[in-house]
Amino acid sequence: MALEVLEPGLLTTVQDLGRYGYERYGVPVSGAMDQFALRAANLLVGNPPHAAALEITLAGPTLRATDKCLIAVTGADLSLRVNDWEMPPWMAIFVRQGWTITFGDRKSGCRAYLAVAGGIDVMPIMGSRSTYLSGGFGGVEGRALRQGDVIPVGVVPFHLPERAGRSFPSNLVPDYSDAPEIHVVLGPQDDYFTDEGMATFLSGEYQVGPTSDRMGYRLQGPEIAHKGRADIISDGIPLGAVQVPADRQPIVMMADRQTTGGYPKIATVISADIPLLAQCLPGQSTVRFEAIGVEEAQSRYRRMMKALEEVR
């Protein structure tokens, strides 16, 4: 069983939940930008949450099923069509041999996740099938999909049609927006910024810059003032860290972030809001930030994960 790539789309890569345990060697985690959507897609087709899927950015690919399969597309709504029939996202869909899977106009978000029962079965590297584009490894030869690629799919231990039609409850689907309010926990270097700089960060509106990518979202908006130097002794970079370099414009570090960095981190985006940020469209979306405490951040994450358990 496999998916044949007829057209690759703008940027389609193989991703799972990431490559953990190698950051001390300088290897980024990578993985899906919107891990909630990836988990949900895998859940709908009967895969474990860490199974590899396709991350589709803005303009989707055209794929052909070489055998019957069960798919689900979550995350951004990119006008999914199966064999030229319009199909809803966040639902398990039975696809017959030879049928095509295509995408059209963007309706919401910018990254969709296509999971197929059995999981994308490319060779794991350092315990993960995720593609790290800058390093050139993982996924399919460390690169985005190309026309002519044949993507292998793992063995399925159940009868495919019996799970077709399962859908994710609409009230549990994230409210993707082009102007989300993103919650952050302040620090760990918030003491490097003036009171005015902190107030600016928490009151200003920032556009997601057009050069934003899987490594980091470069934001454009009101300048955030440092107390002194705009650098620190390099330390670890968690997912969602908000660095502010000398140009006073914040950068939110995303899935392909480097493992260490030398700019002060004014805050960290909470895990529950990373999917909302990951679905913002560079060059168009805007964000605002609100500070909350660690306990509230943990509570929001537990609620997000509970939604997946309720569906399971």
Residues 5, 299: Cα–Cα separation, whole Å: 41
Residues 265, 250: Cα–Cα separation, whole Å: 9
Name the band, by pLDDT with cuts 50, 70 and 90, for residue 94. Answer: very high
Residues 73, 71: Cα–Cα separation, whole Å: 7
Neighbours of 222 (CB within 10 A): 16
Cα Rg, the chain, nearest whole Å? 20
pLDDT at 194: 98
- One-letter amino acid for residue 235 of the chain: D
Helix (H) or strand (E) holding 108: strand 108-116
Over the stretch 126-172, which tens digit does the pLDDT of each residue have? 999 999 999 999 999 999 999 999 999 999 988 888 889 999 999 99
CA distances from 211 to 78, 216, 219, 220, 260 (A): 21, 9, 9, 11, 21
Neighbours of 299 (CB within 10 A): 14
**What value does the mean pLDDT take over residues 6-27?**
97
Over the stretch 170-196, which tens digit does the pLDDT of each residue have? 999 999 999 999 999 999 999 999 999
Estimate to the nearest angstrom the gap between the alpha carbon of 10 and the chain centroid: 15
pLDDT at 234: 95
312 pLDDT above the threshold of 80:
no
What DSSP character marks residue 56? E
Residues 231, 192: Cα–Cα separation, whole Å: 9
For the chain, give the mean pLDDT. 96
Q: Which residues contact 150 (CB under 8 A, 6 or more apart)?
A: 2, 3, 4, 5, 66
Over the stretch 245-295, which tens digit does the pLDDT of each residue have? 999 999 999 999 999 999 999 999 999 999 999 999 999 999 999 999 999
What DSSP character marks residue 173? S
What DSSP character marks residue 37? H
Percent of the chain whose predicted confidence (pLDDT) is above 90: 95
pLDDT at 2: 85
12 pLDDT above the threshold of 80:
yes
Name the band, by pLDDT with cuts 50, 70 and 90, for residue 44. Answer: very high
pLDDT at 135: 96
232 pLDDT above the threshold of 80:
yes
Residues 201, 67: Cα–Cα separation, whole Å: 52
Q: Which long-range contacts (CB under 8 A, 24 or more apart) does 294-297 make?
A: 294/185, 296/183, 297/183, 297/185, 297/270, 297/271, 297/272
Domains of the chain by range and CATH? 2-171 (no CATH), 181-311 (2.40.100.10)
pLDDT at 49: 96
Over the stretch 18-40, which tens digit does the pLDDT of each residue have? 999 999 999 999 999 999 999 99
pLDDT at 158: 85
Which is it for strands 11-15 and 2-7: parallel, antiparallel or unpaired?
Answer: unpaired
pLDDT at 219: 98
310 pLDDT above the threshold of 90:
no
